[in-house]
Amino acid sequence: MSKWTAKDVLRADQFTKEEIATILELAGEYERALSDGRTLDVMKGLVLSTLFFEPSTRTRLSFETAMLRLGGGVVSVSEAKSTSASKGESLHDTIRTVEGYADVIVLRHPQIGAADEAARATDKPVLNAGDGAGQHPTQSLLDLYTITKETGRIDTLTVALAGDLKNGRTVHSLALLLANYEVQFVFIAPPALRMPDAICNELDQRGVRIQQTDDLATGIEQADVLYMTRIQRERFDDPSAYDRLKDSYVLTRDLVESAKDGIVVMHPLPRVNEIATDVDDYGKAAYFRQAANGVPVRMALLALVSGRA
Amino acid sequence: MSKWTAKDVLRADQFTKEEIATILELAGEYERALSDGRTLDVMKGLVLSTLFFEPSTRTRLSFETAMLRLGGGVVSVSEAKSTSASKGESLHDTIRTVEGYADVIVLRHPQIGAADEAARATDKPVLNAGDGAGQHPTQSLLDLYTITKETGRIDTLTVALAGDLKNGRTVHSLALLLANYEVQFVFIAPPALRMPDAICNELDQRGVRIQQTDDLATGIEQADVLYMTRIQRERFDDPSAYDRLKDSYVLTRDLVESAKDGIVVMHPLPRVNEIATDVDDYGKAAYFRQAANGVPVRMALLALVSGRA
Amino acid sequence: MSKWTAKDVLRADQFTKEEIATILELAGEYERALSDGRTLDVMKGLVLSTLFFEPSTRTRLSFETAMLRLGGGVVSVSEAKSTSASKGESLHDTIRTVEGYADVIVLRHPQIGAADEAARATDKPVLNAGDGAGQHPTQSLLDLYTITKETGRIDTLTVALAGDLKNGRTVHSLALLLANYEVQFVFIAPPALRMPDAICNELDQRGVRIQQTDDLATGIEQADVLYMTRIQRERFDDPSAYDRLKDSYVLTRDLVESAKDGIVVMHPLPRVNEIATDVDDYGKAAYFRQAANGVPVRMALLALVSGRA
Residue pLDDT, tens place only, A150-179? 999 999 999 999 999 998 889 999 999 999
CB contact under 8 A, A75 and C68: yes
CB contact under 8 A, C88 and B270: yes
- Give percent of chain C with pLDDT exceeding 70: 97
Q: Which domains does chain C possess?
A: 12-135+294-305 (3.40.50.1370), 138-291 (3.40.50.1370)
Q: Which residues contact B137 (CB under 8 A, 6 or more apart)?
A: B9, B10, B11, B12, B14, B128, B173
Entry pTM: 0.96
**pLDDT confidence band for A240 (50 / 70 / 90):** confident
User: Sheet harboring A47-52: ordered strands across?
Assistant: A73-77, A47-52, A104-109, A126-131
B254: closest CA among B276, B223, B270, B238? B276
**pLDDT confidence band for C187 (50 / 70 / 90):** very high
3-state SS assignment for residue C277: helix
Distances (CA, A) of A250 to A266, B88, C145: 13, 16, 62
CB contact under 8 A, C93 and B270: yes
* Residue-level pLDDT at C30: 98
Which of C45, C75, C93 lies closest to B269 in CB terms?
A: C93
* Residue-level pLDDT at A245: 80
- In a mutagenesis test of the B interface, which of C81, C93, C117 is the best target, namely the one with the most B β-carbons within 10 Å? C93
Distances (CA, A) of C269 to A186, C106, C227, C275, C297: 52, 20, 11, 10, 17
Q: Using an 8 Å Cβ cutoff, are B20 and B144 in contact?
A: yes
Predicted complex ipTM: 0.95
**Chain A nearest CA to B99, separation (Å):** 8
C219: closest CA among C249, C189, C246, C186? C186
Mean pLDDT of chain C, nearest integer = 94
**pLDDT confidence band for C124 (50 / 70 / 90):** very high
pLDDT in tens, B232-241: 887 788 888 8
pLDDT over 60 at A210, yes or no: yes
Q: Is B202 exposed, middle or buried (0-12, 13-18, 19+ CB in 10 A)?
A: middle
Helices A91-98, A114-121: axis angle to 10 degrees equals 50
* Residue-level pLDDT at A235: 79
Q: Integer distance in angstroms from the first to the last C-alpha of chain B?
A: 7
- Rounded Cα–Cα distance for residues A202 and B251 (Å): 76
C82: closest CA among B91, B81, A73, B85? B81
Mean pLDDT of chain A, nearest integer = 94
Q: Using an 8 Å Cβ cutoff, are C286 and C256 in contact?
A: no
pLDDT over 60 at C175, yes or no: yes
Q: Is C201 exposed, middle or buried (0-12, 13-18, 19+ CB in 10 A)?
A: exposed
Other chains touching C, judged by 3 or more CB pairs under 8 Å: A, B
Q: Is A267 a catalytic residue?
A: no
Which of C83, C99, C102 lies closest to B57 in CB terms?
A: C83
Enumerate residue ranges in chain B where pLDDT < 70. 1-2, 80-85
Q: Which residues contact A168 (CB under 8 A, 6 or more apart)?
A: A229
- Rounded Cα–Cα distance for residues B194 and B229 (Å): 13
pLDDT over 70 at C239, yes or no: yes
pLDDT in tens, B148-163: 999 999 999 999 999 9
Q: What is the DSSP string of B108-120?
A: EESSTTHHHHHHH
Other Cβ atoms less than 10 A from the Cβ of A282: the count is: 16
